[in-house]
Structure 1
């Protein structure tokens, strides 16, 4: 009787601990991370843009071609297809 009880109760207890541990595990950091976006070189007008390097939507340093300080600045397109949204150097 004791053996039968252990064979049933032990797996249930182990599954309960596993479920509790899974719920207390921190979320995947990739899910919380911001996704890099394509940075565009802006030409003669706001809608004449050429895709270039990847940039970040947040940061402190401007995103530039080849990540070179002082190089051509890169922009993100807005809903009107204009390259006017500021982008930053990838983290």
Structure 2
């Protein structure tokens, strides 16, 4: 019985552990790859309508990116192809 366990079950457990570890480490690396971009403060009608501020991400993390990451401060935006600050950014 002991040799049957060693010869059959133990190698299967090692393979299951290895496969599980491989998927776990891959998922962890994928979640850390976040696109960091410069967030801009909107100044509608001003000569410079967008002012660079903090670093933000384009990936929706559920929390909007704000100046200094303080909830009461203005939201930050990304520029579109026309250099308008209209694309929402999120806290990294």
Counterpart of 1:65 in structure 2 is 67
TM-score (norm 2): 0.60
Please identify runs of 4+ aligned residues in structure 1 that moved more than 2 A: 44-47
Root-mean-square deviation (CA, aligned residues, Å) is 2.6
TM-score (norm 1): 0.61
Runs of 5+ unmatched residues, structure 1: 1-23
Match status 1:42 vs 2:42: yes
Runs of 5+ unmatched residues, structure 2: 1-21
Counterpart of 1:81 in structure 2 is 83
Equivalences, count: 66
Task: Report which of the two structures shows the higher radius of gyration computed on alpha carbons.
Answer: 1
How much has 1:44 moved relative to structure 2? 2.2
